[in-house]
Amino acid sequence: MSGNTFDGLSEAAVLRALSNVQEPELHKDLVTLNMVRNIQIEGGEVRFTVVLTTPACPLRGQIENEARAAVAAIPGVSRVTVDFTSDVSRRFSRADEPLIPGVRNVIAVASGKGGVGKSTVAVNLAIGLAQAGARVGILDADIHGPNVPLMMGVTRQPVKGPNDKILPPVRYNVRIMSIAFFMSADTPAIWRGPMVHSAIQQFLRDVEWGELDYLVIDLPPGTGDASLTVAQLLPSARAVIVTTPQDVALLDAGRSLAMFRKLNVPVLGVIENMSFFHCPHCGERTDIFGHGGGAAAAQEQGLKFLGSIAIDPAIRLGSDSGKPVTIANPESATAASFREVASQVAAAISVANATEDAPVIIS
């Protein structure tokens, strides 16, 4: 920095003030984390940029308030403007992970059983991250039951680019790939494990994903071939577990968690779907499948509880129409809950990138 000064104010004074502001989840100050850039001083006005580790940062408001207050306390400061940008960190690109070199983070969305709304969560998670400003792709790895193209409202087949790689269709600022693009609706994929492995490998290796902050992978339910393939091909992947509050779903979620741990895939946390129902007429809340099971399971396993999603007919309508609720009803409480889950997932990744033993690249 240039050491810009005006009437006793200086960049050094601003940095000293901001060195007392902690990043709430990384537990280090903004200056140590190199999150402060472009300090400008004009008269008593101070302007600077804070570089977040994700555009979906759930604590942006807290960081802004504390940074503004710290600088405003410097004698002579009359006005403080805080700008934000983001630079998503990534885990070290290992030699055994050449398939998707432009992808910074992989989020595998899993469930122990079917029927818990895993694909719905994966789709709205991807859209929520994109709405926050991240570069996002989604891979439908449920080879036997692909639903992502329907939910995203995409019917056209992908085409090949100039380098003979497949160009994924883009919808709602999310790049999409699925086996459904290459099969008719009434043709089942009666494939054994090696074919599933080969298909997922091809969708990673032969698709032009480009530069992505997050690649969301919608896994099939259970602990089968697709999950094993993702763990083998993408050792830097991390998983989130989707469950409902009922005991049988939580039991199967535990099996899924045990599988990822056995495969050395870090689990970011648990998302509880179909958590409750709010009557649109009387406003009464009903816990149809029980209450608090996902949060309790996360606490028991030492995991972060990433949030809960209500039962809402708009979710089903959006999925069937190709306009997920985060697109069709962006101001609704349900859409807000999906965006909050997306923020919590992004924050968990940022913390993991900053604290794990594996090297981290921040460009």
Query: pLDDT tens string for the chain (363 positions)?
Result: 444 544 468 999 999 999 999 999 889 999 999 999 999 999 999 999 999 999 999 999 999 999 999 999 999 999 999 999 999 988 655 544 578 989 999 999 999 888 888 999 999 999 999 999 999 999 999 988 899 999 999 988 888 988 889 999 999 999 999 998 987 766 666 666 688 889 999 999 999 999 999 999 999 988 788 989 998 899 889 999 998 887 666 777 788 888 999 999 999 999 999 887 777 777 777 766 667 778 888 888 888 999 999 988 899 899 899 999 999 999 999 999 999 999 999 999 999 998 864 433 333
Strands 79-86 and 304-308: unpaired
Secondary structure (DSSP) of 141-155: --SSS--HHHHHT--
Predicted TM-score (pTM) of this structure: 0.89
Cα 227 to Cα 249: distance, rounded to the nearest angstrom: 18
Cα 296 to Cα 212: distance, rounded to the nearest angstrom: 33
pLDDT at 189 (0 to 100): 64
Nearest-10 crossing angle of helices 60-72, 11-18 = 130
Q: Which two tokens stand for residue 71?
A: 């600088």
Compute the chain's Rg from CA coordinates: 22
pLDDT at 296 (0 to 100): 82
Tell me the domain boundaries of the chain. 5-86, 90-361
Cα 258 to Cα 114: distance, rounded to the nearest angstrom: 17
pLDDT at 252 (0 to 100): 75
Cα 64 to Cα 271: distance, rounded to the nearest angstrom: 28
CATH no. for 90-361: 3.40.50.300
pLDDT at 194 (0 to 100): 82
Cα 302 to Cα 295: distance, rounded to the nearest angstrom: 10
The answer to whether 135 and 170 have CB atoms below 8 angstroms apart is: no
pLDDT at 96 (0 to 100): 45
CATH superfamily of the domain spanning 5-86: Fe-S cluster assembly (FSCA) (3.30.300.130)
pLDDT at 8 (0 to 100): 62
